[in-house]
Amino acid sequence: MITRHHGKTIHVRLLGGVLAALGALLGTQALAASMPAYQPVTQARLLHAQHDPGWLMYRRAYNGQGYAPFSQIDPANVSKLKIAFTYKTGLKQGHEAAPIVNGRYMFITTPLDHVIALDAETGKVLWKYQKKLPPATLKTVCCGVVNRGVALYGRNVYLTTLDNHVVALHATTGKVVWDKKLEDAGVGYAMTLAPLVVHGAVVVGESGGEFGARDFIAALDSKTGKLLWKRYTVPSPGQPGSDTWPKGNAYEHGGGPAWITGTYDPETDTLFWGVGNPAPWLPTNRPGRNLYTDSVLALNPHNGKIKWYYQYTPHDAWDYDGVNTPVLADIQYHGRTVKALLHADRNGWFYALDRVNGKFLWAKPFTRVNTITSIKADGTPVEDTDRLPAVGKKVFICPSAFGGKNWWPMSVNPDTGMAYLPTLHVCSEVEGVAVKYKRGMPYFGEKPVWKHQPGTKDWGEVQAININTGKQVWSHHYENAWDAGMLSTASGLVFSGSVDGHFYAFDGETGKVLWKSPKLSSGIIGVPTTYTVGGHQYVAVYAGFGAVLSLYAPNLVGETAKHKIPRGGELYVFRLP
């Protein structure tokens, strides 16, 4: 009986599987049919993204301010916020992405390069995509297998991947439109940033400074994936800046990662991109200023040529990775309005530059600093050379390699004239160790031990800084490291999250905590966004602790044998009742 009917049983099971798959497909199609038509994202919409009801790019608008002109949620009613919907990813690594929204379509990414499209009003899943990563991929990924979000253009969604691909997906189906490889997997490179689309070009940056890669910024055609230009961040012999590197092949594995999304100024048609640390960390291996590491590059977006640059930390000896988002805002300087570029660097200094010509305006320390003791009027930093690590030499430095502020983006509210910074109070004892370059292997040369910043018992802080003067306006201290992005709105609110799993709303003028969510399912290290749809304002943020601090410094976030922050990614979307 069993043998005779076995084939029929298989056929029935196969038929059942087919019917189930067909049902799922029809269900997805029915759900898609219930959605409004997808509105293509044009260059005109990106130029006016600040006023869009959605959230069209990584930091909302080309200026990188992370500010939304919404006021439905305000200081008087923010305490009434409730969860509108959640979505669990099923992954336990760190979740750092910013939710991107176009009308009713929301796009989120996860660790290991998944993309999920959701109904921004209900949270229903529209489609899912998962990048198939070759086994070698994770060998040379530093600091977490994260992804920070997508870019939108036309009817496509753009993703960078850990195996160094840029992928275009159809926004309403998730089907692959094109897939372009920029580098091999597992040889030192990885990409984790959200792309930025300018004039139909998808601009991305490579990571790899911790593995001795020679990194670059690149632009691809949004329709075809064709490489339009490629700008290495470490010059080769004979190119401008090459004399700031030792002779030989040091430049070939000199680092200069470009792993955070840049910004764009339409008025001057200039792309701004942060460049990170030189490799190895040990400075004695690479005498010279080591351009263009630890710099901001002002680039022609059409060909990648450098218009000007400013180097925050020449010959970086402390991994003061200068990639933090260059934020564009107008400030008052000596009685006149100046088009400025604002930057809170890992080296602990808050900078204002003239974004038209790169001229240094001013810089003020925003945390304890003992490595760069001052900055001259022309923008040249003065370093304490006694604090340069060397083989067999230990030095005590503030801030640590984690920085006064790590990659988590600050927000600037042009109405209050303040920048809101996630800040760290972490110093370290650093000892140099001998290191040689070997492809695909870590390339550090320094061994840090994390220490409390003298004079404080806290590891972190949220602070407000006056963008016209660089002076602190208010501060909110926190016992653990504060490692989440900031969001500000026209109603005067500032949103961010903590590693112990609470989402906060601060009064942007005073720093008073106006609302604190119930404890969420994991700690927050992501970037919050806000959007309006169906007459309601929503605020969205990932909970999903992990990545760099959990891997390398669990003591900074209060993790002990008795207290572990729960893992697991979950998107939380809040609105008023």
Write out pLDDT tens, residues 108-165.
999 999 999 999 999 999 999 999 999 999 988 988 999 999 999 999 999 999 999 9
Task: Please state, as a whole number, how many other Cβ atoms lie within 10 Å of the Cβ of residue 23.
Answer: 10
Q: How far is the C-alpha of 380 from the C-alpha of 4, rounded, in Å?
A: 86
Q: How far is 185 from 140, CA to CA, in rounded Å? A: 8
Average pLDDT over residues 294-308: 98
Pair 126, 87: CB distance under 8 Å: no
CB atoms within 10 A of CB 62: 23
**The pLDDT value given to residue 130:** 98
Q: Give pTM, 2 decimals.
A: 0.93
> DSSP letters of 158-192?
EEE-TTSEEEEEETTT--EEEEEE-S-TTSS-B--
Is residue 1's pLDDT more than 50? no
The set of residues, in sequence order, having a beta carbon less than 8 Å from that of 75 and lying 6+ positions away, is 491, 492, 493, 507, 514
Residue range 492-501: average pLDDT?
96
Alpha carbons 426 and 437: distance in angstroms, whole number: 29
Contacts of 244 (CB under 8 A, 6+ apart): 288, 289, 290, 291
What pLDDT was estimated at residue 109? 98
Cβ neighbours of residue 203 closer than 8 Å, sequence gap 6 or more:
195, 196, 197, 217, 218, 219, 262, 271, 273, 301
The residue with tokens 């840090």 is 448
- Cα–Cα distance measured from residue 30 to residue 98, given in angstroms and rounded to the nearest whole number: 28
- Mean pLDDT, the chain, rounded, equals 93
Cα four-point dihedral sign 411, 412, 418, 419: positive
Is pLDDT above 70 for 409? yes
Checking if the pLDDT of 3 tops 50, the result is: no
- For 497-532, the pLDDT digits (tens) are 999 999 999 999 999 999 999 999 999 999 999 999
DSSP 391: B
Contact 68, 489 (CB under 8 A): yes
User: For residue 81, what pLDDT band results from cuts at 50, 70 and 90?
Assistant: very high
Q: Of 119, 319, 345, 483, which is the active-site residue?
A: 319
* Rounded Cα gap, residues 1 and 253, in angstroms: 68
Helices (H) and strands (E) in the chain, counts: 3, 38
pLDDT score of 553 more than 60: yes
User: Which residue spans within 345-425 are E strands per DSSP?
Assistant: 349-354, 360-365, 372-375, 381-383, 394-397, 411-413, 418-424
Write the CA distances from 323 to 274, 415, 534, integer angstroms.
4, 26, 37
* pLDDT of 337 higher than 70: yes
- Position 560 confidence tier, pLDDT thresholds 50, 70, 90: low
Asked if residue 292 has a cis previous peptide bond (ω within 30° of 0), the answer is yes
- In the block, tokens 């790019």 appear at 57
Q: Does domain 63-575 have CATH number 2.140.10.10?
A: yes
Cα separation of 571 and 92, whole Å? 13
Task: Tell me the average pLDDT across 283-302.
Answer: 97
Query: How many angstroms separate the CA atoms of 124 and 353, rounded?
Result: 44
d(CA 124, CA 121): 8
- What pLDDT was estimated at residue 65? 98
The 3-state DSSP composition of the chain as helix, strand, coil percent (nearest 5) reads 15, 35, 50
Q: pLDDT value at position 548?
A: 84
Q: How many CB atoms lie within 10 A of CB 76?
A: 9
Residue 561 pLDDT class (50, 70, 90 cuts): low
* pLDDT band, residue 66 (cuts 50/70/90): very high
Per-residue pLDDT tens for 16-46?
444 444 444 445 555 656 899 999 999 999 9
* pLDDT reported for residue 29: 52
pLDDT at 9: 39
319 belongs to the catalytic site: yes
